[in-house]
Structures are given as structure tokens and as C-alpha cells.
Structure 1
Amino acid sequence: MIPVNQLGDPAVRAFVTAVNAGDREAFGAALTPGATMSDDGTDRDVDDWAEREIFSSHGHMDVEAESDGGRSLVADYRNDTWGAMRTAWRFTVDDGRVSRFETGQA
């Protein structure tokens, strides 16, 4: 497992830190205005998805591997709704913040 503070991309590091802390404010700050995302190939509303999959269900990422300069991750993701699953994450970063993320089962 890769400690969060050792993730290679600072924007992705801020994103994962916010997810693991359940910190809505830090999560919002890690994203650009109008950031987009997809889950298993389907675009979702970021705010609705984050509330359901992260905040109200206590989401947590344990990063196993990173590539693409830290903008692609494989992580064990768990929450109270779905339990634990191996997931892949790909991030687009603009001006030091995440403008898009894509996640799905790995």
C-alpha cells in the first residue's frame, strides 16, 4: 500500500486525503469548478455521487499502485454501502486541481 502522503501528484493526493477524511470542504477544494466524473463508464453528478459513495457511506481508499505520474491509481475502495472492492481511478488535473475523475472496478 502507498501512504497517501507519498502519492506522486499533489492534486490527486489532496483528493484522496479528502475522501479518506470524509472532508466535504477539502474534497470540493480539490476539484475545479464544474469538475466531472464517471463511475463504471457512466457520467454521474459529482455532488450526488460523492454524497452517496463517499460521505454518507464513509468511503475510504487504500492505494495499491499508481502510474501516469500519479494520475492513475489502483485502490482498495470501501464504503458502508458496497463493502470493499478493487477499483481503478484516472484523474485529469488542471491548474493543480482535479477537473475530471473516472473510477470503476479494476
Structure 2
Amino acid sequence: MSNSLDPAVSNFVEALNAGDSAAFYDLLTPDATMSDDGDERDLRTWIESEAFGSNGRMDVRSVADGGLALVADYTNDRWGSMRTAWRFTVAQGRISRFETGQA
């Protein structure tokens, strides 16, 4: 069903919104990577700054690509709220890569 999030992606959103960094990192492969607006970033540094260190949260607005892509209103204490696009790569139930940027 194309309007439902992949289970790993759903858990990613839930852990991020709950501020649960332990659950969040458990969802990632050990070598997971990410990019923000097309620039490769250090995943842990970015997540600590943009999510857990600044009360980041996602309000999912739409889902595509079999639940591996979404558009969300992303809010944190640093930047406020913005419309963002997210694309995920899931391998064996864990996230190996995500890409985000303004939508």
C-alpha cells in the first residue's frame, strides 16, 4: 500500500518525535549515511544537532514510493518549521541511508 510508511521508516519517525535516541540509532545499519539538501553529512553529528539537540519533530504530510519517501513539516528549536522531503533506503529492516532537504 503506497500511502503507508515502511515499518522501519515509521519507527524512525516515531523515535525521532519521541526524542528516543537509543531507539532511533537501533533502527540504523552500522554504516548508515545521510545527506541534507544534497550535501553528505556525518549522520550522528547532524541528528544530534538537528533532531535530538533541538527538539526535532516530524509531522508527515504525504507518503510515496512504497513508504520509502515522505514529505513532512519538520520543526526544531533551531530553524522553526519547514516543509521537508525525505527518502529512505532500507536493508533487512534497518535504514542504511536517508536523504532530506527542503521540499
Residue 58 of structure 1, CA deviation: 0.3
Query: Aligned match of 1:90 in 80, 84, 87?
Result: 87
Query: Aligned match of 1:42 in 39, 43, 50?
Result: 39
Q: TM-score, normalised by structure 1?
A: 0.93
Residue 7 of structure 1, CA deviation: 3.9
Structure 1 ranges of 4+ moved more than 2 A:
none
Aligned length: 101
Structure 2 alignment gaps of length 5 or more: none
Q: TM-score, normalised by structure 2?
A: 0.95
**2: CA distance, partners of 1:14 / 1:50:** 15
Query: Aligned match of 2:19 in 9, 18, 22?
Result: 22
Over aligned residue pairs, what C-alpha RMSD do you find? 1.0
Structure 1 alignment gaps of length 5 or more: 1-5
Give identity over the alignment, percent: 64
**2: CA distance, partners of 1:90 / 1:56:** 22
